[in-house]
Chains A and B, each alone.
Chain A
Amino acid sequence: MSQVLHPIEQKILKTLAEKKNLTPEELAGITKLSLDQIRRGIEWLKFKNLASVTESEKTVVTLGKRGSEALQKGLPERQLVNHLKSLDGYSCELDSAKNYLKNEFGPAIANAKKNGWIEIHENRIMLKGYHDVTSEEKIIKIISKIPTGVSADEFEDKDALESLKKRPEFVALSSKKSVLVGLTEQGLEMSKTVPVEIDFTNISETGSDSEVKVARAIDVQASAPPVFAARSHPLRDVIDEVREIFVGLGFSEIIGDNVQSSFWNFDALFTPQDHPAREMQDTFYLKDLTAGTVAKPDQIKKISQEHKKGWNYEWQSQEAKRLVLRTHTTCVTIRALADQKYDEARLFSIGRVFRNEKLSYKHLAEFHQVEGVVTGKNVTLRNLMGLQTEFYHKMGIKKIKFWPTFFPYTEPSLQSMIYNEKLGKWVELFGMGMFRPEVTKPLGIKNPVLAWGGGIERIAMLKFGLEDVRDLYENKFGWLRSVPKCP
């Protein structure tokens, strides 16, 4: 293995090989590197599995509020001993000691007795012979020297620490997180390869290389900071992919307005004026605006006659003039067919469509739809299924089946089901059918018309594994920057 180590890494390896486990602060102290450099070095070594870091939480003991007072004057029991020492006969009345020690009298007597320093006889306190420094006093002395505190583990006399903890404010305890860095087995091996003299030339304070005259080897395995590629929107990519497939299948793109008259959105498609789909709770109508001329007089006349014949009601031209946000792209394709009178054509349109829906994880009020139409003398339902199958194959979808369904303006009508490998189930995708004679005849369209299409967001959801369709329009950078162009 020819792994290149940064001088910082070399230094840390060498130090840890000698001293085993150290904290980053200790490492900084020993190596004379900055704490920043040490931290960076540890991250690099960790990434290469040469060093391991264990995090631990320990209890740290520092002097409490009354700690320094205890240090100067001694703990209450020591004060009592010192007081007694200064008296003749090394004894005094309880009341006089009480007077001297005030509030500390109680603990002083209790602890001095516990330590075996005094005896009490008929209201007199007598000092006994031995009054060595106690563990409690030792603890206070030790922690007074280290302002950052001492780990509770370092004291051997745990009982003494416990009893000090119970006494008011001589010591304070806090918990402190610390990390210990050690070498892994590989790290220990690697440390043997570190040269005695580590070359620190061209290493600046911050650890980055500056003005390197001779290209020193760098760590090519280290990770680089992220940059984010600017990109088109993932949904746009799906739209483009769909468009490319349609073009590849010989379809030419047409575009039309989002705002349409009800005539082209509904009436021309044999949807009766009292049909529930035309109600405001399903469709967006523009407020206070109506269309002027919706279609050629002949088209209007024939469509209204067809409605009268098929649905047996009085067709209202005013109703046909209401402006809607198109509920499908079929209004664009049917109008092109009606106006251009193609004998033969393959057309498609991709665009936004609108439904008055409350937004949810599976419904949007506005989404993209693609629709393709084929007209020709000899086109058949099987051709429609063939085109659909070819489209799915180009999208990478292999398992397809067809079921009958209903659309108001096609007959026969089918829906396609595709098998989604990720979900492990059949999913309903595009719908299709042949335009009804009630649609084509009044508009003067002579040859049969195959039509097929569906929502693009649904394909995008499957492609990107989304469970909430709203995510496509959130434009969250976290998603835009992470979702692959080719998932």
Chain B
Amino acid sequence: MPVVTLYFDRINKILGKKIPKTKIVDTLPFIGLDIEEETDDHINVEYSPNRPDYSTDYGIITGLQGLLEIKLGMPKLKIKTGKNMIKADVSVSKVRPYVTAIEARNGILNDETIRQIITMQEDLHNGLGRRRKKVSIGIHDLDKIKFPLRYTIMAKNHSFVPLESDVSMTVTEILEKTETGKKYGNILAGKDKVPIIIDSAGNTVSFPPIINGKFTEMNNKARNLLVEVTATDKNAAEGVLAVLANALQMAGFQLFSVKITGANNSTASLKPRDLILESDLVNKTLGINISDSLMIKSLKKSRLDAKMKGKKIVCTIPRYRTDIFGVMDLVEEIALGYGIQNLVPTMPESVSAGQRNDITKSLETIRSLMVGLGYTEVMNFELTGKEILYEKTSRDSSKMISVADSKSQEHIILRDLLLPGMMEVLSRNVHESYPQKIFEIGTVFEKNSSIREVIHLACLDAHKDANFTEVKSTLQSLLKTGFNLSCDTIPQKEPMFVDGRTGSIIVSGKKLGTIGEVDHTIADNFKLRTSVSGFEMKLTGLIFD
């Protein structure tokens, strides 16, 4: 989850009231933030990506103001009508159709404010922006730009000086050579022409979603900013713009609209919306009985506006709250405003009789019998590696089931047998005293036209006299004592086991597995210096279906 750094001196400046540090730290979890690290002068908190407005200290302080009752209700965006304009060409509609923007004027940027804005921009890119694919943002020094701007597409030989460079580069070079070009270039894969925002003097302001032009670079001397957002989804673009606008307004900037025209684009209104809520649902869901006025106050503590209209609550939601889908989200807002700590846990009225699953019951029986027979249970991963599953055991890997893009080679194939993993367990324990007797019960995966999950039982005996007879005794005893079943073992060849000392396990006419003495070369592959014998059989289809 993304992390925001909060400096206590900034919190106190922006909060509007002196609040003790401990009170701030204690309150943060109740607006849904996880505390990562706390030091003398700052605290790092994690926020859920569904709350992009928490991507700066400004957004978090907005939340704190509510819960601490410093400021209640919805923060209102004051947007004056600006005189500048962006015109979108029809050509963008097949590449990246939407653009929107806002001006933030007369503000003062210090280094920490810039850092907060840049991390917010990155978090928005990754979250709502879906790693820039859906939405991307450019923030520029407004005074460098000659309006009106044009949002268009250009060939890949178009060149300009990109951010973090001193020389002019073509679009192709930017995609191949710059860090962001390499990272996000795939978003434009297959496009002959790329989106460009260009000013009336012909300077390239931005090449979304990759990089800005150098000439509009924001620094701490900039007093007026242009925030432009391009997107594949108009609604998402305006949501992101609203989050940015709200933070910049709190940072002391005055907001001015930017007129957007052309190709289905229009000026963003960033207006709040209303949702109607019945107080009954709130009390019924939370299991409390609070008054309408307390509900309204609770919503206001969650920085929403609310008022009664007849018997219903009309709740007004600021544009930046993209996480609110419907009334149930408002119920949660009331719970937070009311205080989770004020909800007293209580058991449900109804009663019911619980039970274990039938398969679980059978497995518990088998487990207790195996322990009674002197075997210790081991637990291995279902996702394993080729070396253990097939190579060291000389097994056929033609029906291997792999996962895509595993971060580890040892966890890339779904096991089709328990024994290889158990051999690895013995291998890890060569320095421990013998005899070593182990068993495992677990899911293995069979691939035919589809995937079938089957529960297996396997056991291994390792000591100097381990042999076929010993494990056959175990098998017979398990089936007899557990399920009054008998079994036959019929000669069979199997690469893991010694020829002539290997058998198929047949129960009620069905072949269910293999029993035998483990081949010495195989044991050697696992660095075992002792005799090993064992069996593995299906339980699915025998004990249960």
What residues make up the interface of A, taking CB atoms closer than 8 Å to B? 228, 230-233, 235-236, 240, 243, 246-255, 257-259, 274, 276, 280-281, 284-287, 289, 292, 310, 312-313, 323, 325, 344-346, 352, 354, 356-359, 365-366, 374, 376, 378-383, 385-390, 401-406, 408, 411-414, 428, 434, 436-438, 448, 472-478, 480-481
Contact = CB atoms under 8 A, between A and B. Distances in A.
A53 B30 CA distance: 64
Interface string B369-381: 0111111111111
Interface in B320-368: 325-329, 331-332, 335-336, 340-341, 343-357, 359-360, 364, 367-368
Given A344-B350, A365-B383, A403 B376 contact: no
B284 A385 contact: no
Interface of B: 29-32, 34, 48-51, 126-127, 130-131, 133-134, 233, 235-236, 284-288, 325-329, 331-332, 335-336, 340-341, 343-357, 359-360, 364, 367-368, 370-383, 401-408, 411, 414, 425, 428-429, 432-433, 436-438, 443, 445, 447, 450-451, 453
Nearest to B358: A253
A448 B381 CA distance: 36
A276 B126 contact: yes
Nearest to B455: A255
B450 A232 contact: no
Contacts of B411: 359, 365-366
A438 B326 CA distance: 9
A251 B402 contact: no
Contacts of A292: 450
Given A285-B404, A287-B401, A434-B328, 5 more contacts: A253-B356, A376-B348, A381-B286, A411-B328, A412-B335
Contact of A473 (B379, B404, B432, B437): B379
A338 to B, nearest CB: 18
Given A356-B407, A411-B329, A475-B379, A255 B286 contact: no
B377 A236 contact: yes
Closest CB pairs A-B (n = 6): A380-B287, A406-B48, A382-B287, A412-B332, A385-B345, A477-B432
Contacts of B354: 246-253, 346
Contacts of B284: 378, 380
Contact of A475 (B131, B233, B425): B425
A477 to B, nearest CB: 4
A323 B451 contact: yes
A177 B408 CA distance: 50
Identify which of B402, B403, B433 gathers the most chain A CB atoms within 10 Å of its CB: B403
A376 B372 CA distance: 43
B376 A231 contact: yes
A408 B127 CA distance: 13
Given A231-B377, A274-B134, A437-B328, A404 B32 contact: yes
Given A255-B359, A259-B451, A404-B340, A284 B374 contact: no
Contact of B357 (A255, A276, A284, A285): A255
B413 to A, nearest CB: 10
A383 B347 contact: yes
A335 B450 CA distance: 20
Nearest to B134: A274
9 contacts: A233-B377, A281-B407, A284-B383, A356-B407, A380-B284, A385-B346, A403-B30, A405-B34, A480-B376
Contacts of B374: 230
B408 A286 contact: no
Contacts of A365: 381, 383, 406-408, 411
Nearest to A472: B379
B371 A473 contact: no
Contacts of B437: 230
Contacts of A437: 326-328
Given A358-B407, A380-B286, A389 B367 contact: no
Contact of B403 (A228, A250, A284, A475): A284
Nearest to A379: B348
Contacts of B447: 289
A411 B332 contact: yes
Contacts of B429: 475-477
A238 B51 CA distance: 35
A347 to B, nearest CB: 9
Given A250-B353, A259-B445, A437-B328, A383 B346 contact: yes
A140 B348 CA distance: 96
A475 B350 CA distance: 42
A352 B407 contact: no
Given A253-B360, A255-B357, A287-B404, A312 B30 contact: no
Contact of B377 (A232, A323, A356, A414): A232
Contacts of B131: 276
Contacts of A388: 345
A46 to B, nearest CB: 24
A352 B380 CA distance: 11
Contacts of A436: 325, 328
Contacts of A325: 383, 403, 414
B450 to A, nearest CB: 7
B331 A411 contact: yes
A193 B463 CA distance: 46
Contact of A358 (B126, B287, B373, B408): B408
B32 to A, nearest CB: 4
Contacts of B346: 380, 382-383, 385-386
Contacts of B364: 240
A337 to B, nearest CB: 15
A252 B357 CA distance: 7
Contacts of A412: 285-286, 328, 331-332, 335
A157 to B, nearest CB: 51
B451 A250 contact: no
A481 B349 CA distance: 44
Nearest to A435: B328
A274 B130 contact: yes
Nearest to B367: A232
A253 B357 contact: yes
A480 B411 CA distance: 23
Output the residue of A230, A247, A255, A428 with the most chain B CB within 10 A: A230
A236 B30 contact: no
A448 B285 contact: yes
A110 to B, nearest CB: 58
Nearest to A247: B354
Contacts of A247: 354-356
B320 to A, nearest CB: 16
A313 B445 CA distance: 35
Contacts of A232: 367-368, 371, 377
Contacts of B359: 255
Nearest to B324: A411
A339 to B, nearest CB: 16
Given A406-B32, A411-B328, A386 B345 contact: yes
B29 A284 contact: no
Nearest to B445: A259
A413 B332 contact: yes
Contacts of A312: 233, 235-236
Given A231-B371, A274-B134, A276-B130, A255 B360 contact: yes
Contacts of A235: 379
Nearest to B442: A352
Most chain B CB within 10 A, of A232, A379, A434, A437, is at: A232
Contacts of A478: 432
Given A325-B383, A380-B285, A403 B367 contact: no
Contacts of A281: 405, 407
A477 B432 CA distance: 7
A474 B429 CA distance: 10
Nearest to B329: A411
Nearest to B126: A276
Contact of B336 (A243, A248, A404, A477): A404
B408 A243 contact: no
B404 A286 contact: yes
A38 B356 CA distance: 59
